[in-house]
Structure 1
């Protein structure tokens, strides 16, 4: 692995890279509460076919972490990664997103399709099926009540207290974390403890326009979504850990309506953290689906 800091839209972003720079590019976008180093389990299984690039996204790790909520609107997050693809200068690229990284990956594919040749999502959700599930007042609404807690003004202080005890509990209990060793948790704590980072990480939730219903009380007055603009035109692979307790199967129902060229693959025995739990299987699913572009002239 190699690291560097680049300037995107006038701000510093920290990158990790694996593999020969001459290989086709795979942009790897992490979610909450991780950082670019979270791809260290998966990237080595892909680095013989791809030059893997994993940024710390805005608000995370060693990248720029502006104050406030407005800077974390999805449009800004997508603009960061669009600027990164342009900085790399070898687009279009294959994009892989997990959790919140999936939101940015979907945004790149939907709003900057000239930059994305193929889209891979690992336990992440498209905004339309997810919003519908969040608004229904059922199982996904119940599973997502933590979002409302993350949006409270005192959330950064509460989740940072006692050496991030509440955030660790979220990791271990809410979503499963057999892979989260004491050594790795110490690495995560070091990233969370950087000044302003936890507030920035939670800023993604605060800036999100998604509405979460109370369990048993469906929302019926949602604003209309620009459905015609929310289509993935490139080939799309969805890899799923079926034991995920944060994102439920209903959160992807109807995805085919927005991704005509969709392939679904399930990795049995995994949950939200499938890229840590079964990196070899996730890599194999990707490599079987993705064309080998190394032989192209």
Structure 2
């Protein structure tokens, strides 16, 4: 078993009820006069603890809050057989009402979380002081004609609910993390595995509701997303890794040129590329990301 990463800044676990579901928060630091909290939101099949390495690398002490989305980490699952983006917006709205009811926050999201915060920042522009999107590209636009096939696929898969396979040991979970992202150091993978999965009689199971794997019956509409993006009033930082995951994952279905056109509608946009980093750039280059955040959020 490799050495396990030792965090520099320990978090406090907190459980709160948001919209009827028990949510898990990780909190670092204490509120400081005149400084908003930095709220961090993870991506699909990830957990709030994923941001530990960036928090450790931040140049100055500040209050940081990360939440496990519903059905991920230690947050309660919805009990439904599908997860909808409007629910993530509702949970985020309730979270900010709880942690910073009278003042805007600095808001950061990775991947799926990046997509959520971009939409939220356009819907509630007065709630955000600074906005950071880490590789939250969105998805290819889907034409209305695809609706019957998508709905039929969803109905078919409802008949056989998905499952997540168990792992024999926590070390196997860490190995799976490193297989997905070879840049992840062994000690950090070993630490993350303890937050990514839990021990059960059948083995170690991921802290995620298998319903997340079901296809979403609601089509992704680029026009709706951009209607929100263009209403963002906060200065916005877009950060991506030098290893182009957009082209690798979507290919010609979502060409780089289309994404560049989407970013063009964001009013106050800064961009940054982290070298030797892929989609999990907060794992690959936490120090470089923390330095970029320090400058942007100052």
The secondary structure found in structure 2 opposite 1:76 is helix
Task: Quote the Cα distance in structure 2 between the aligned partners of 1:44 and 1:107.
Answer: 28
TM-score by length of 2: 0.74
| Distance change (3 Å), C-alpha of 1:162 and 1:7 | closer
Deviations 1:179-234 (A, max 9, x none): 35345334422298378x3324435x536533xxxxxxxxxxx7864743442232
Tell me what 1:288 maps to: 295
Tell me what 2:227 maps to: 228
Deviation at 1:171, TM superposition (A): 4.7
Tell me what 1:40 maps to: 52
Tell me what 1:131 maps to: 140
Tell me what 2:241 maps to: 241
| Distance change (3 Å), C-alpha of 1:223 and 1:178 | closer
Task: Quote the Cα distance in structure 2 between the aligned partners of 1:24 and 1:239.
Answer: 21
Unaligned stretches of 5+ in structure 1?
136-147, 211-221, 293-297
| Distance change (3 Å), C-alpha of 1:19 and 1:111 | same
Q: Which among 66, 77, 98 is matched to residue 88 of structure 2?
A: 77
The secondary structure found in structure 1 opposite 2:291 is helix
- After TM superposition, where is structure 1 displaced by more than 4 Å over at least 4 residues in a row? 151-155, 161-177, 246-249
The secondary structure found in structure 2 opposite 1:272 is coil
| Distance change (3 Å), C-alpha of 1:170 and 1:108 | farther
Task: Quote the Cα distance in structure 1 between the aligned partners of 2:115 and 2:67.
Answer: 15
Tell me what 2:30 maps to: 20
Task: Quote the Cα distance in structure 2 between the aligned partners of 1:189 and 1:224.
Answer: 37
Task: Quote the Cα distance in structure 1 between the aligned partners of 2:240 and 2:268.
Answer: 17
Within-5 A mapping of 1:43-122: 43-46=55-58, 48-70=60-82, 72-88=83-99, 89-122=101-134
The secondary structure found in structure 1 opposite 2:14 is strand
Aligned pair count? 259
The secondary structure found in structure 1 opposite 2:165 is helix
Relative to structure 2, which stretch is displaced further, 184-193 or 98-107? 184-193
**Is 1:178 aligned with 2:195?**
no
Deviations 1:134-185 (A, max 9, x none): 88xxxxxxxxxxxx99x9555732x425559999887545554533534533
| Distance change (3 Å), C-alpha of 1:171 and 1:183 | closer
Unaligned stretches of 5+ in structure 2?
1-10, 144-152, 249-254
